Structure 1
């Protein structure tokens, strides 16, 4: 199995970001428009400002930004710096992978969700007619630079979105830190200094998994816990990604109990913990309405759909389900 090494860096002070920016080539920063208003001054390079929305994670945006890069003189020796959340890293990584058949790029994630998940691992993609991440490649950035200072300007809903991905990582790989993390965030405000050691732990867990399986052929699939449900929910509702992942994890835990993989008390613990943090746990739509969308998910192969299910907090497995059985299995989960 092919392996890779991720260049993951941590920077406690935003002022140190400048030392990571290349000096020997043209660098263009593609930045979330809202982030640019607050932190744009820390990136003294030509900038392209992008409204970070799922609607803009599209081939139309790829074309628009690529044309701007051409006008700016960006060539194969140039460097793209993505500054923002998951939409920006997905978009810039995809552009960097195909522009002039590939140029170097790097990520400075500014949301909690991006710092622990979206900007770690090299998955890049755009959406297709509302279907999530259908067009994309796996291509590692030159580096990912994680700085907690950006989190100080995040609204609470963005922080909660990141919490769902952090809990996901601990559920699949680290039981002790699942409970340690809950103990910290239940008793304190969601401040960057409280989250910082857990951000580093989460991102390093994901990096370790990706390094073993960069192209999602084996163990990396575990990182998709809750995501098949989540992508379907995002397609047919107005839920944001973190909210949908939270609900998806709960649905995966309920299905795990139904299939006798997970003890019911563990499922109740997970659901109670998510509720305590203010995360959504119930689907706003009937689960039968998710089936058709789930069957268009990338994790479907032939007549089977690989779901990530839970054996215990700290251990998840890849569980293949026949597509003919999916609708029946979803009954009575909500």
Structure 2
């Protein structure tokens, strides 16, 4: 029998998640059934969606998230011992991966990373990379010479969106939450302009950086900053709504209010579309192949915020919600 640990959510989050919302449970894994495998967890992903999806589940429940594990026991001919598996079994050090066909959470073998770090399989060459690739290219449909704005620009998804926009010949403006992030976006990733939304006048910054208006907006944060970006958009502008991290900790009955947008949407005929990356689940391998190629050629630069230790998962998660990470936040469990 394999002894394992997992994080169990005892109560739905109220405001900022608290440590005592979780319980670490030690238990023995049951015997494998046909088609299942046991994995030893190597890397666990911590992402903002873990907060936004929390209210969809009734406690107690195992904390979900993407992770990479190595198969140590198998009753599935497609997954031999030693294989690396990307799954959604979450915050556990050992776990049983069951094979099913949910478009977002179905397990799959770690893509061929061509020698890149294994952790990229839950980052740039995982769900966040696919989110940036499809959300931006399929919804915004950028054209060379257009102006693109990205909020949450120094995060796992936003940093990739901005770089893809540069690859496609666009002018890119990013908003992030610290001067350090701004410097990284401009000096390392090649954003044309980046701003600390906490210290600048957003409308003035946009008017100066995008005097001819904004064509595409990739929205990771929601709130008033998004209303201000939309006000600066051109006729037939396109907005891809990926997330709303600015409101995830808000009381659902007391949500933050933002400027009404309908007059701008109508007069400028702006398209706003929300999306879930599961829409393109069957096409993820295409995105992964292209993302790896861009990384290999240096067109796409990746940065990770690595936390070590199974016991540090909560701290890493809280850090993401507080915007402490630059790039993709991952937790190293075993290696």
TM-score range, shorter chain: under 0.3
Structure ranking higher in strand proportion: 2
Relative to the length of structure 2, the TM-score reads 0.26
Relative to the length of structure 1, the TM-score reads 0.26
Answer with 1 or 2: which has the greater Rg.
2
